[in-house]
Amino acid sequence: MANKYWESMRVMLGATPRKSQPAEYSEEAKTIHFYKKSEKLDFDALRIEAHAHQKKGVWLRRRWITLLVINLLFTVSFWLDIQILEGALTASRFLGFHLIDLNSALQVMLAHKHIIVNLFIGTGTVFVLWLVVGGRTFCSWACPYHFLAENAERLHVYLVGKKKISDHTFHRGVRTVFWVLFALMAIITGYTVFETISPVGILSRALIYGPGLALGWVVLLLLFEVFYSRRAWCRYVCPIGLTYGIVGVFSPLHVTYKLANCHHEGECKKVCEVPHVLDCIVKGRAPAAQLDIGADCTRCGMCIDVCPSGALTFEIKGLRRIM
């Protein structure tokens, strides 16, 4: 059990997913792999089936509606002065309960070089929330930049497919380096440098209080992702995703992979923002008949939407599958 959590953390920090040794495979997994070796699958037919399933976009619609409602509720509360959800994503108050972004609180305490007790009141609720539903769920279900970047990604994929541009990747460990750098800058300068350039805070404040010059930085990021590197900010820079990922290591909510159902057509990895977490779907690689996808998963549900065989589902540990 401890090894599973450590592997999830290791991969999230940028390491390559470890390939299990034959001795580590469960007997059930060995049996399934044995029978799969003789399977003759029509992958073209499977891709057509997967594409048809993708059009349904069940989890995509649910996620976009949730994300838009959360962010627009800030705007409506401010402009109508109804005090339902006040503030912005970095620090807010929902029906009187204080909510403070964990990464923002960490940056502030590092800048001030001491623990600020009042911040724990707001971070406690947020910590429990993302611990329960999975830390990086914040990225795909609440972050306004994720919404824009996800749509910019569609244009990037289209341009790559037309051979107009090529995608450039970086080592995933760069994100960990940036996390450390932003922490050091806060300590050295006494200023929350990351909060100044964070597209999450910029977009959240722009939606509530109106646009400003800082939106130009967000546009530059999106252009970089469209024409140079797919989802570069989320994959290689943003410390928020890493902070919440660490919180969600022990989350009971996971995307669960069932080996027996998988046809290994690979459609799930094509749509995944963090495809390394789906390394287990490669034929012959899964060491167990059922696996929980690691903590770096954003729980966006895209892989579930495109899987034609139900091999990937949302499940709450010890309870049941979520529809």
The ranges assigned to domains in the chain are: 26-55+252-322, 60-246
Average pLDDT, the chain: 88
DSSP type of residue 22: G
> Distance from CA of residue 299 to its chain's centroid?
6
Residues 6+ apart with CB under 8 A from 165: 156, 159, 227, 228
Using the predicted structure, report yes or no on whether residue 138 has a pLDDT greater than 90: yes
Over residues 177-181, the mean pLDDT reads: 97
Q: How confident is the model at residue 309 (pLDDT cuts 50, 70, 90)?
A: confident
Q: What pLDDT was estimated at residue 264?
A: 86
Task: Convert the pLDDT of each residue in 194-244 to its tens digit.
Answer: 999 999 999 999 999 999 999 999 999 999 999 999 999 999 999 999 999
Single out the residue of 84, 87, 93 nearest to residue 122, CA to CA.
Answer: 93
Q: What pLDDT was estimated at residue 4?
A: 79
* Percent residues over pLDDT 70 in the chain: 92
Using the predicted structure, report yes or no on whether residue 318 has a pLDDT greater than 80: no
Using the predicted structure, report yes or no on whether residue 50 has a pLDDT greater than 60: no
Q: How confident is the model at residue 279 (pLDDT cuts 50, 70, 90)?
A: very high
Residues 6+ apart with CB under 8 A from 51: 267, 306
Task: Convert the pLDDT of each residue in 52-82 to its tens digit.
Answer: 555 578 999 999 999 999 999 999 999 998 8
Q: How confident is the model at residue 51 (pLDDT cuts 50, 70, 90)?
A: low
CA distances from 274 to 14, 97, 230, 269 (A): 11, 33, 11, 8
Total residue count of the chain as it appears in this document: 323
Q: What pLDDT was estimated at residue 47?
A: 54
Using the predicted structure, report yes or no on whether residue 187 has a pLDDT greater than 80: yes
Q: 98 near 122, Cβ under 8 Å? A: yes
Q: What does the alpha-carbon distance between residue 254 and residue 36 come to, in Å, rounded to a whole number? A: 25
Q: What pLDDT was estimated at residue 43?
A: 52
Single out the residue of 171, 172, 196 nearest to residue 182, CA to CA.
Answer: 196
Q: What pLDDT was estimated at residue 56?
A: 72
Task: Convert the pLDDT of each residue in 96-107 to its tens digit.
Answer: 788 889 999 999
Over residues 107-130, the mean pLDDT reads: 85
Q: 226 near 263, Cβ under 8 Å? A: no
Over residues 123-127, the mean pLDDT reads: 88
Q: What is the DSSP string of 177-212?
A: HHHHHHHHHHHHHSS-HHHHH-HHHHHHHHHHH---
Q: What pLDDT was estimated at residue 69?
A: 95
